[in-house]
Structure 1
Amino acid sequence: MSDYAEKFGTLTRVYGEELCEALSQSHVCVVGIGGVGSWAVESLVRSGIGEITLVDGDTIARSNMNRQIHTLESTLGQAKVSAMQARIADINADCRCHAVEHHIDDDNLRDILERGYDCVIDAIDSIKYKAAIVYCCKRNKTAVVMTGGAGGLIDPTKTEVADLTRTWNDPLAATVRSRLRHKYGYTRNPKRSFGVPCVFSPEQQRYPDRKGRPGYCKPGVAGLSLDCSFGYGSVVSVTASFGFAASAKAIELIAKKK
């Protein structure tokens, strides 16, 4: 029995041999290797994806410990993409992994995204670049999966996947949807979809007050995010569920193309 068959043979009992072979020949890019993206990568490599590109400019901090799979005492201070690349090699040394230690920006977006991927998973927080990733991928006919806001949530069973036009009670997804319409000319017709699957949760977000106590009253502060010192709280059961849902959707999209 080959090493690949020994590691991933049980997948054929659910996916079938043809799809497993397709997955081993597929290339997925994950943008944002944090609380959601790191789990998406973990799922992809354990599902036998043959090539993965990791995009993130951050280093691992102790504050990531509660939700990011690559965060260990032994990896503190390392680039997230480097730590995840090492983890991938430890799971499946045959998986070709490319580590891009940069944040997506105006200068590198097209160079990073226009590399013939079978699917791109967006797992970043930036509204501007989430919309830009969707636009670039759709323009190049590259399958893309977007993730909404996982911060401030505690119930992983509420995680859903729907077209970006059909998400609800997710402020991040709603703002990206609005930007796609205003900046990129996406349809405003409520009966039409964008063709962009989005992982989201309709759960009511919990916000910290000035003393860090959770509640449902949205504070009047700008730039509230998952990672800043004064921002959303997060739990791994939700962030991981978002990542797993995104990877499952990516595999579904790959299966439809093969």
Structure 2
Amino acid sequence: MSAGMNERTRLIIGDDGVRRLRDAKVVLCGCGAVGGYALEGLVRAGVGHIRVVDKDVFSESNMNRQILATTATVGRPKAEVACERARSINPVIDIESMDVLVSEDTIPAILDMGPDVLVDAIDTIGMKVRLLREACARRIRAFSSMGAALHTDPMAVRIAPVMDSSVCPVAARVRRELRGCDTSLITCVYSLERPVAVPTEKDENGKSILGSMPTIPAIFGMTLANEAIMYILGKE
């Protein structure tokens, strides 16, 4: 990583902070609306070792809110595109892609690098809970996105220990399913705004298609990145 890239960051965090970020290992699950922006923040801050996990490919419908979705990347694997984007910013970054679904079978391998931080930006709640449970069991510091869809108010976005979150329906289910776990290492980003009431459409697989603005997922993603960065710097 060139000294020039670090110049403005170094003025804030000093040489030691730059070193901490360069040496940090982060696992990022999900490279979509929230995860793409989280990746952007982590890479530009100078995080040196990142594993990105996503099985999906980009579609045209992603282009309204996903920073990695362009006319050139539609149809391509998200994790692969994420690595290319990261290397275009920092050519010497140690970044690897795992083109797998986050599942009970794959979670052990996803976390086997012994990361300092897990950034969770997946939207399947059952797998989100399993991922967070395993992170807790391994004593990995986790930063998790709750529901960013169906929101329009940037001022309602909040950061809290997961058990202190409120209003958000995704957070409510996550809290319920994590009861009995030591959740002290999980911080979440969520919204106090009640989800916008709009008709819900279904895709070809029967999954709900949720409306989303371009701005709110970006705020969620950059907030996740900032929380992870501050933790790595010892400024939490």
TM range (shorter): over 0.9
RMSD across aligned positions (CA): 2.1
Q: Does 1:119 align with 2:117?
A: yes
Q: How many residue pairs end up in the alignment?
A: 235
Aligned to 2:118, what secondary structure does the other structure show? strand
Confirm or deny: 8 A CA contact 1:207 1:233 kept in the other structure: no
Instruction: Quote how far apart the aligned CAs of 1:165 are.
Output: 1.0
Q: Does 1:104 align with 2:94?
A: no
Aligned to 1:256, what secondary structure does the other structure show? coil
Q: Which residue of 1 aligns with 2:54?
A: 56
Deviations 1:164-223 (A, max 9, x none): 111111110110110011xxx237xxxxx633110011011113226x7xxxxxxxxxxx
Q: Which residue of 1 aligns with 2:32?
A: 34
Instruction: Quote how far apart the aligned CAs of 1:114 are.
Output: 2.6
Instruction: Quote how far apart the aligned CAs of 1:254 are.
Output: 1.3
Q: How does 1:109-258 map to 2 (within 5 A)?
A: 109-181=107-179, 185-186=180-181, 194-209=184-199, 230-256=208-234
Confirm or deny: 8 A CA contact 1:164 1:197 kept in the other structure: yes
TM-score (norm 2): 0.93
Unmatched runs of 5 consecutive residues or more in structure 1:
188-192, 213-223
- C-alpha distance in structure 2 between counterparts of 1:230 and 1:180, whole Å: 24
Deviations 1:20-63 (A, max 9, x none): 11101111111011100010001100000101111000000000
Confirm or deny: 8 A CA contact 2:133 2:181 kept in the other structure: no
Confirm or deny: 8 A CA contact 1:114 1:140 kept in the other structure: no
Confirm or deny: 8 A CA contact 2:145 2:189 kept in the other structure: yes
- C-alpha distance in structure 1 between counterparts of 2:207 and 2:176, whole Å: 28
Instruction: Sort the Cα spacing of 1:119 and 1:195 in 2 relative to 1 into closer, same or farther, 3 A.
Output: closer
Confirm or deny: 8 A CA contact 2:140 2:185 kept in the other structure: no
Unmatched runs of 5 consecutive residues or more in structure 2:
none
**Percent same amino acid at aligned positions?**
29
- C-alpha distance in structure 1 between counterparts of 2:186 and 2:81, whole Å: 29
Write the letter of the residue equivalent to 1:186: C
- C-alpha distance in structure 2 between counterparts of 1:251 and 1:165, whole Å: 22
Q: Which residue of 2 aligns with 1:73?
A: 71
Deviations 1:133-181 (A, max 9, x none): 1111111111111111000001122211100111111110110110011
TM-score (norm 1): 0.86
**Which residue, 14, 18, 21 being the options, matches 2:19?**
21
Instruction: Sort the Cα spacing of 1:228 and 1:144 in 2 relative to 1 into closer, same or farther, 3 A.
Output: farther
